[in-house]
Amino acid sequence: MSNLLRKTTIVALLMLTAGMMLSSPAKAVSIIDTGQGGTSPSGLVLQAYQVSTSNTYSYNAWVAAEFTLDSQYVITDVLGWMAQDRRPEYNLFRIKIYGDGGDIPNASEYLSRDFAISTAYRTEGWNGLRGLNLTLDAGTYWVAFEVPDVIDMNGTSVRNLSHAAMSNIGVPNPLGNEAWLYQGNWLGDDGDNLNFGVQILGNIQTIDPAPEPATIMLLGIGLLGIAGVSRRKN
């Protein structure tokens, strides 16, 4: 490789790298934001089992809400306005994203991941999954807040007695079409008034094959500079 060609290649690579550094990094945007609900741990109950003084009953009280994406997104955060309630030693919940089954979620699962509520015990706040890298195409989906039936505690599988509340009071922009699950069956929300808080953040996916203007300008300046040096040497 000639000295001039080597210099040209190096400068071109440097210009392309600089152009990419000058381009604006993608920032997570708010895709869905109902706003937060009330500030006391009350409202919709999330639990897997109901415990009485003498028995433990399978219960499964979960909630879900429908949302629509108008473009392809990479989802980074899925959060609910919620508080851990009643049993601080149990704190394991699950977020799922399902396909659309009309007035309820369908069986398609795009996300299923567990999380612990991070706000102080009996204190409402945004809790859920952060740092995701989930691509969802344009379409309609359901986000569900659930409680796994069984969890591992100190190496032993036990019934999950985790208990949370999602306030359904004061949410300024509820998603509108909601559902709740009881004993394994999703039920459409009669009246669509569950109104719990949901936040979904992410980055819109765009395909732009054209080089960044800054990259083109820097590359051109670099090549012109090399040409000038070459002419002086000749």
Q: Looking at residue 180, what is its pLDDT?
A: 92
Pairwise pLDDT comparison (77 vs 45), residue with the higher score: 77
Distances (CA, A) of 217 to 6, 22, 83, 127, 221: 21, 12, 52, 45, 6
Share of the chain above pLDDT 90, in %: 53
Q: Looking at residue 89, what is its pLDDT?
A: 86
Q: Looking at residue 165, what is its pLDDT?
A: 94
Average pLDDT, the chain: 82
pLDDT tier, 55 (very low <50, low <70, confident <90, very high otherwise): confident
pLDDT in tens, 30-40: 999 999 998 87
Burial class from Cβ neighbours inside 10 Å (0-12, 13-18, 19+) for residue 37 reads buried
**What is the number of domains present in the chain?**
1
Q: Are 126 and 36 in contact (CB under 8 A)?
A: yes
CA–CA distance, 60 with 149 (Å, rounded to integer):
8
Per DSSP, what are the bridge partners of residue 188? 179
pLDDT in tens, 135-149: 999 999 999 999 999
pLDDT in tens, 117-130: 999 999 999 999 99
Q: Looking at the domain assignment, is residue 89 inside a domain?
A: yes
pLDDT tier, 178 (very low <50, low <70, confident <90, very high otherwise): very high
pLDDT tier, 207 (very low <50, low <70, confident <90, very high otherwise): low
Containing structural domain, residue 53: 29-204
Q: Which amino acid is at 94?
A: R
pLDDT in tens, 108-119: 999 999 999 999
Q: Looking at residue 209, what is its pLDDT?
A: 47
Q: Looking at the domain assignment, is residue 219 inside a domain?
A: no
